[in-house]
Structure 1
Amino acid sequence: MTPQFQIRADYDARTIVVYQAYAPAIADAALRAGRFVTPFSFHRMTWIKPSFMWLMHRSNWARKPGQERVLAVRMTREGWEEALSQAVLTTADPAAVAQAAVHVQWDPERSPRGAALNHYSIQVGIGRHLIRTFADDWVVGLTDLTPQVRKASALIQAGRAPQARRLFPPERVYPVPRTLEDVVSPGG
């Protein structure tokens, strides 16, 4: 049985992949530059999600207006863990949340058809004071997953979920450093 609160992600020794969905203008500019540039907003919180399925639910498989393009954002694990070290759970005291540089929220993980599962996925909101650090120092690569997302969605709609699953990025339990366990655990 999957633990209720557990970070699952695609990662290697140095990096972790998080997912975001954008309007085409933002995605195209970022992909051309190889990093986030305007019209990406450096003045508001940006939410990153290591769960591919949760972002598929949130963006309706890249069909939601303003979220038609799905990017895999490869960032340093050092940056990911630095963000977590500055995080406050969105369920904490409202004054603490308002002051936090980073927000952590847990939402039900989703099945390929969007059903809520019995375990949760983490979302991390990088606040505007850390956005430049995220974009310029932590992000090491951007990949457009939109064609893969559209193909997987078509397979699911056609009742071919096993074939669709082969297109999903691999995710496994992320080893959260002991010093960060209390920060990211809703029970902490």
Structure 2
Amino acid sequence: MPSDSTLLLSVGELNDNKNHKVIIQSLPELPSNVHYVICGRGPLKEQHEQLAKELHVENRLHLLGYRSDVIKIMKSCDIFVFPSKREGLSVALMEAMACGLPCIASRIRGNIDLITQGTNSILCNPNGYMNFVDVIISIDEEIKDKFSKLNIIESKKYSVKQISEKMKKMYLKGDIFHD
């Protein structure tokens, strides 16, 4: 990849629920220096590669497979994208926030618990790739700097201790069994 590339990163299994397809579909609409990196493996690997080939962006999609050095990879990327259709409280999203990455995530349960829209990250409709295109294009250096400072602060609310306490309260109240 050229040194002036903008690197989008997702972490998660290559399956329908993680919805990586929507970001692959956005690549032709984005500047040619935007590359999409995915850490994860799964049953849709070949489909994602085929879609990228059909869209003529196969040189901009990088499937890294399972990685044990995700934090190091996060620190070398520009934007974390998390287009899932369904999530719990995502560790990958919390890690990206803790690394100071601007985060673009789908507007679903779990993500909305972590993200303050427009303050520390941006929420998108998981079904529309043009929404992701518009948001990705809008992120400039000023926004990256603002989000990185806020995400580091926000991520402290989601330490292991904080989450353990919240989960314990949810189980005791029975809230864990409701949507």
TM-score normalized by the length of structure 2? 0.26
Higher RCO structure, 1 or 2 (CA under 8 Å, sep 6+): 1
TM-score normalized by the length of structure 1? 0.25
Q: Which has the higher helix share?
A: 2
Q: Which has the higher strand share?
A: 1
